[in-house]
């Protein structure tokens, strides 16, 4: 079994590397690399969610809300990529998601070091 933090770290670093491949190559190689980024995105979301829930002292509802707001924040990246592509070109535009993936890599790295919090026992279970 692969620890979630290690899986997230590998997925984010791989996605960042694939952004570099897309930016530096063209043709079929770049196209396959761009599609492969989606594979690593699909691995990242559930692992980030799990890592955050396991390592936070806040309630699950608060963490879930925070993660949903983070997803909305990520929705600003595609327009930013478009603006960078308009001004600096298609290859330079892939620096935007690469930087985001590197930031998520840092999260995965530090999450590996963070202790897993014990799940709180609901009050109803304590009373019975």
Domains and CATH numbers, the chain: 4-112 (1.20.1250.20)
pLDDT tier, 124 (very low <50, low <70, confident <90, very high otherwise):
low
- Provide the b/e sequence for 56-80 (b: ≥16 CB within 10 Å): eeeeeeebeeeeeeeeeeeeeeeee
- What is the reported pLDDT for 24? 95
Closest among 102, 92, 91 to 9, alpha carbons compared? 102
Handedness of CA 27, 75, 64, 12 (dihedral sign): positive
Sign of CA dihedral 9, 54, 114, 58: positive
pLDDT in tens, 37-64: 999 999 998 898 888 888 888 887 888 8
**pLDDT tens per residue across span 13-40:** 999 999 999 999 989 999 999 999 999 9
- Radius of gyration (Cα) for the chain, nearest Å? 18
Max intra-chain CA distance, the chain? 64
Token output for 36: 């492969």
């Amino acid at each position: 079994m692969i620890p979630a933090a290690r899986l997230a770290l590998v997925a984010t670093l791989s996605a960042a590397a694939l952004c570099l491949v897309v930016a530096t190559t063209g043709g079929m190689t770049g196209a396959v690399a761009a599609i492969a980024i989606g594979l690593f995105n699909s691995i990242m979301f559930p692992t980030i969610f799990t890592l955050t829930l396991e390592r936070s002292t806040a309630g699950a509802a608060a963490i879930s809300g925070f993660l949903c707001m983070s997803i909305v924040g990520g929705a600003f990246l595609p327009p930013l990529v478009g603006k960078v592509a308009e001004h600096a070109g298609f290859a330079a535009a892939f620096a935007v998601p690469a930087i985001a993936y590197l930031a998520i890599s840092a999260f995965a790295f530090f999450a590996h070091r963070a202790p897993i919090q014990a799940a709180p026992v609901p009050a109803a279970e304590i009373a019975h």
